[in-house]
Amino acid sequence: MFGRICEMQLLLVGKPGRRWARAGPLALGLGLAPRPAADSDAGGSTTTASPAGTVLRFQPHEDGGFMFDTGLLKGRLRAGGRSIGLTEVIHVPSGARLEHGYGLLSHYRVFANGRRYGAAAWDWPGTARLLEDGRVEVLWPATEERPFELRAVYRLARPGAIMVETRVEARQQLRGFEVFLASYFDAAFTNAYLAVKRGDRRVFQAATLDRGEWQMFPRDPAARALAEDGRWVLEPHPVTWSFPAELSGPVIRAHRRAPTKGLYATFNADTNTCFAVAMPHQTEPHYSTYLSLFGRTLAPGEKTSALVSLLITGGISESAD
């Protein structure tokens, strides 16, 4: 049984082309809604509040990275000063580990102008600083090889909710610019599903093996055409995608579920700035979910951003329900 799930609702504002054309920061609402079963219709939401006394700030770590403990989640950001996302993430009430490998909300492949910029942003040199309000800003400066400046601002929005705003400033025209945001979950997260279009309905579809080894869910035919422009044959680790369905918008809802732990991970993003969601079939050992950000041409000097939230809820195994 699915029970109930907290849902992050992002009310996104702003228009592309303005300074930082913000993809929305900033209205954030947390709600309670029925957990949708895979291949089922979607439900509604109501409002909930954060516990009093919660510390929603990153703290510096002696190794050059950052740490956090919200009372519900604790872990690391940029552990060892590396250009990776959230690692060593623990769901405090249950003690369950949430991720593996390169962690959660980690900037991976970057494409534009028919090129792939290195193997991954994980390998790029960059800097990070703790902001006065407790957020962390990561900067990968432009270089001769990378004609854009990339920033990521991580925020602890609620005890179980983490947001990352990815910002880019183009130094030259960037055709079909994409940032591929990666999250690698613990092996307990064996169920993956997301909201897709089925005729005129919005349904939740599971990423089962019969739908392909590696599955991508584009926003629309134009987004699929971008994904098939040759970028995914570029080494290293080229991928052949199947395209089982199109995303249902305007807010993306993609989930990973750990049934033995009763934990749910929910991604939300605006389909204007996230043009596809991708994943292997749900029990493939990466246990990963990817969000393709931007997906359009940027003019020289243009600044824009994309906002993604990750919400963790639950913590009681289904056998105990």
| Domain of residue 117, residue span | 4-12+55-320
Give per-residue pLDDT as tens, 252-275. 999 999 999 999 999 999 999 999
253 compared with 320, residue with greater pLDDT: 253
Q: pTM value?
A: 0.86
Amino acid 9: pLDDT? 37
> What is the rounded distance in angstroms from the CA atom of residue 309 to the CA atom of residue 307?
7
Amino acid 55: pLDDT? 80
CATH number at residue 178: 2.70.98
Provide the β-strand partners of residue 310: 162, 267
Q: Is residue 158 part of a domain?
A: yes
Q: What is the mean pLDDT of residues 180-197?
A: 98
Amino acid 226: pLDDT? 98
Q: Is residue 181 part of a domain?
A: yes
Q: Is residue 261 part of a domain?
A: yes
Q: Is residue 297 part of a domain?
A: yes
The DSSP code for 242 is: B
103 band by pLDDT with thresholds 50, 70 and 90: very high
Q: Is residue 22 part of a domain?
A: no
Residue 297 host element (H or E): strand 288-298
Q: What is the mean pLDDT of residues 171-193?
A: 98
Q: Is residue 42 part of a domain?
A: no
Tokens of 186: 């613990």
Q: What is the mean pLDDT of residues 309-314?
A: 96
The number of folded domains in the chain is 1
User: 102 phi and psi, to 5 degrees?
Assistant: -80, 5
Amino acid 23: pLDDT? 41
Amino acid 38: pLDDT? 55
Amino acid 95: pLDDT? 96
> What is the rounded distance in angstroms from the CA atom of residue 184 to the CA atom of residue 210?
22
**What is the residue-averaged pLDDT of the chain?**
86
302, amino acid identity:
E
Provide the β-strand partners of residue 253: 268
Q: Is residue 30 part of a domain?
A: no
Q: Are 166 and 305 in contact (CB under 8 A)?
A: yes
User: 224 phi and psi, to 5 degrees?
Assistant: -65, -40
Amino acid 26: pLDDT? 30
> What is the rounded distance in angstroms from the CA atom of residue 54 to the CA atom of residue 277?
32
CB atoms within 10 A of CB 92: 16
Q: Is residue 162 part of a domain?
A: yes
pLDDT score of 14 more than 60:
no
Give per-residue pLDDT as tens, 15-70. 333 344 444 433 333 333 334 455 554 333 333 334 555 689 999 999 999 999 99
Tokens of 234: 């570029």
> What is the rounded distance in angstroms from the CA atom of residue 9 to the CA atom of residue 27?
8
Nearest to 66 by CA among 115, 124, 7, 138: 138
Amino acid 59: pLDDT? 97
